[in-house]
Copies of this chain bind each other. A is one copy, B any other.
């Protein structure tokens, strides 16, 4: 039995919680270790170095996100794209989702800069979200795959605009695009 992997799996949830609260950018070993109830010495022991720790942590967070989407999946489908979008935006404004969102932009920034692990985690989360969105598309939709990608693009744009204080711009855009009821 490899005890190293066991220890990693014990550590990762606490590390993820710390990162969700304090961000990825300023995450340094000693605060991370304190949050996990151990020492920087042991983090290096279990993960080898900080880079692999962050990479594995990003993978774990992507899996967390995936699980959250699965848990959110209801068995009733919306009947229109508008309703589908409305449901998703409502889910995104859940306070529990806010911490995820703030962290998300850290991950996007890392992915854009090419940091190791960031792009893979971000891509995985987007792939999962896309699959979930496809499953949420209305039953009679003429083009569920394309429609899901279309909505996805609008959702991510809305999230970005909201992150910088332009939620009004996004809302009016969705309205003009016929994606929101007045």
Residues of A within 8 A of B (CB): 23, 25, 101-102, 104-109, 111-113, 119, 122-123, 126-127, 130, 143, 145-161, 163-166, 169-170, 172-177
A161's contact among B145, B146, B152, B176, by CB below 8 Å, is which? B152
Compute how far the CA of A163 lies from the CA of B173 in the bound complex, rounded to whole angstroms: 22
Q: Which of B123, B127, B164, B176 contacts A149 (CB 8 A)?
A: B176
User: Copy number of this protein in the oligomer?
Assistant: 2
Q: Are A160 and B161 in contact (CB under 8 A)?
A: no
List B contacts of A169 (CB < 8 A): 126, 130, 149, 152-153
Q: Cα distance A147–B169 when bound, in Å?
A: 11
Contact B111 A109 (CB under 8 A): no
Contact A153 B174 (CB under 8 A): yes
| Apart from the given pairs A105-B105, A150-B174, A156-B156, 18 other A-B contacts in the complex at a CB distance below 8 Å | A101-B112, A108-B164, A111-B163, A111-B164, A111-B165, A123-B164, A130-B169, A146-B173, A146-B176, A148-B173, A149-B170, A149-B173, A150-B173, A150-B177, A152-B161, A152-B170, A154-B173, A156-B157
A/B interface sample: 16 pairs, CB < 8 A: A23-B113, A101-B112, A105-B105, A105-B108, A105-B109, A111-B163, A111-B165, A112-B164, A119-B165, A123-B164, A146-B175, A146-B177, A150-B174, A152-B157, A153-B170, A153-B173
> B175 touching A122 by the CB < 8 A rule?
no
A69 to B177, CA, bound (A): 25
Q: When the two chains form the complex, which single residue of B113, B145, B174 contacts A102, counting CB atoms closer than 8 Å? A: B113
Q: Output the least CB separation between A110 and chain B (Å).
A: 8
